[in-house]
């Protein structure tokens, strides 16, 4: 099964609109697709309609921003009822903090001589309610300040750098609870990307599972093969469902295209065993 259960459209910080994401996935041979925009489900209707036209099975998805031990952790929700009021209200609450955060990022960049960064970032944000650091990064590249998005993050947008600002997102329990309330499956996204001690990583899994979380991205476009093996072991130890996910944002920025991840280790239980 070529399943790809994590990617982005212009509804958050992807480069392609939801229809184009689905068309690209179909052309790449994806058989089961979830669109998982950051804190937003506004692209699901269009994506699911196009997927039906193209014969691609589609799962409703979202990637919720949470805060845990000073780190931002992403929780993916899959296969929920997209009209559920608890989930809709929760996502609205998470998004509501983004405007003030974007103003603070822009003010922080102003302090190091980068003017009007928010106006520049907005040029790249198709959804005005969803300005992400990726949009700031694209603006700094377009303005000739940095050569590429990765370098912008390394120099400006990660903790300890001048354009980084602290922000309190949802809690692990809130995000997981909203997904479960809406009948979906919660999955920890790209677990190798978090800078957590091993004790805090174990605590993250404890709290996530206690809140009803059931899955982890073992294969991710953001994981090396060693990291994949590490989280395959954790999925076995914790009895978690395993997901496979490109985290595709656009061909300019993503190392792995839609549907082009490695297969899951064959002894793991795929999360799609519960979605199909």
Residues in touch with ligand AMP (CB under 6 A): 13, 38, 65, 132-134, 149-150, 153, 249
Q: Which is nearer to ligand AMP, 3 or 140 (CB)?
A: 140
Q: What sign does the CA torsion over 118, 120, 123, 125 have?
A: negative
The one of ligand AMP, Mn ion, none whose footprint includes residue 229, by CB under 5 to 8 A per kind, is none
| Pairing mode of beta strands 185-188, 71-78 | antiparallel
- 172's enclosing H/E stretch is helix 172-181
Provide the minimum distance between the beta carbon of 113 and Mn ion in the complex, in angstroms, as a whole number: 26
**Cβ 215 vs Cβ 110: under 8 Å:** no
Does residue 247 bind Mn ion (CB under 5 A)?
Answer: yes
Decide if residue 135 touches Mn ion (CB under 5 A).
Answer: no
DSSP, collapsed to helix, strand or coil, labels residue 52 as: helix
Of 133 and 223, nearer to ligand AMP (C-beta) is: 133
| CB of 38 vs Mn ion, minimal distance in Å | 6
CB of 1 to ligand AMP, least distance (A): 25
Partner whose footprint covers residue 150, from Mn ion, ligand AMP, none (CB < 5 to 8 Å by kind): ligand AMP
Q: Which is nearer to ligand AMP, 38 or 223 (CB)?
A: 38
Q: How far apart are CA 12 and CA 38, in angstroms?
A: 6
Nearest approach in angstroms of CB 133 to Mn ion is: 8
- Our CB check for ligand AMP shows the closer of 125 and 241 to be 125
Site residues (CB under 5 A) for Mn ion, limited to 100-119? none
3-state secondary structure 63-114: EEEEEECCEEEEEEEECCCCCCHHHHHHHHHHHHCHHHHHHHHHHHHHCCCC
Q: Closer to ligand AMP at the Cβ: 150 or 195?
A: 150
Give the binding range for Mn ion (CB under 5 A) out of 41-49, 56-64, 85-93, 198-206: 56-64
Structure tokens at 176: 């997981």
Helix (H, G, I), strand (E, B) or coil at 167: coil
Structure token pair of residue 200: 């805090």
- CB atoms near residue 32 (< 10 Å): 21
Q: How many CB atoms lie within 10 A of CB 37?
A: 26
Collapsing DSSP states into helix, strand and coil, what is residue 233?
A: helix
- Report the residue number, 194 or 212, with the smaller CB distance to ligand AMP: 194
Interface residues toward Mn ion, by CB under 5 A: 13, 63, 74, 189, 247
């Amino acid at each position: 099964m070529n399943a790809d259960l994590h990617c982005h459209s212009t509804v958050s910080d992807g480069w392609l609109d939801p229809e184009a994401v689905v068309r690209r996935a179909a052309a790449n041979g994806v058989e089961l697709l979830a669109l998982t925009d950051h804190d937003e489900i506004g692209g699901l209707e269009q994506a699911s309609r196009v997927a039906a036209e193209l014969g691609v099975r589609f799962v409703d998805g979202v990637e919720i921003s949470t805060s845990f031990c000073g780190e931002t952790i992403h929780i993916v929700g899959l296969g929920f009822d997209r009209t559920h009021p608890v989930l809709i209200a929760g996502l609205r609450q998470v998004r509501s903090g983004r405007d003030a955060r974007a103003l603070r990022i822009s003010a922080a960049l102003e302090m190091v001589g980068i003017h009007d960064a928010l106006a520049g970032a907005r040029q790249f944000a198709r959804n005005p309610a969803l300005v992400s650091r990726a949009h700031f990064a694209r603006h700094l590249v377009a303005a000739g300040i940095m050569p590429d998005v990765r370098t912008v993050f390394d120099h400006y947008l990660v903790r300890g750098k001048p354009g980084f600002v602290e922000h309190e997102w949802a809690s692990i329990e809130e995000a997981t609870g909203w997904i479960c309330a809406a009948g979906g499956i919660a999955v920890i996204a790209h677990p190798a990307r978090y800078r957590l001690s091993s004790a805090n990583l174990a605590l993250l899994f404890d709290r996530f599972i206690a809140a009803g979380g059931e899955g982890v991205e073992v294969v991710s476009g953001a994981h090396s093969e060693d990291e994949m093996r590490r989280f395959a072991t954790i999925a076995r130890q914790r009895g978690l469902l395993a997901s496979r996910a490109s985290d595709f944002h656009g061909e300019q920025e993503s190392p792995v295209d839609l549907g082009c991840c490695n297969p899951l280790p064959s002894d793991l239980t795929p999360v799609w065993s519960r979605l199909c």
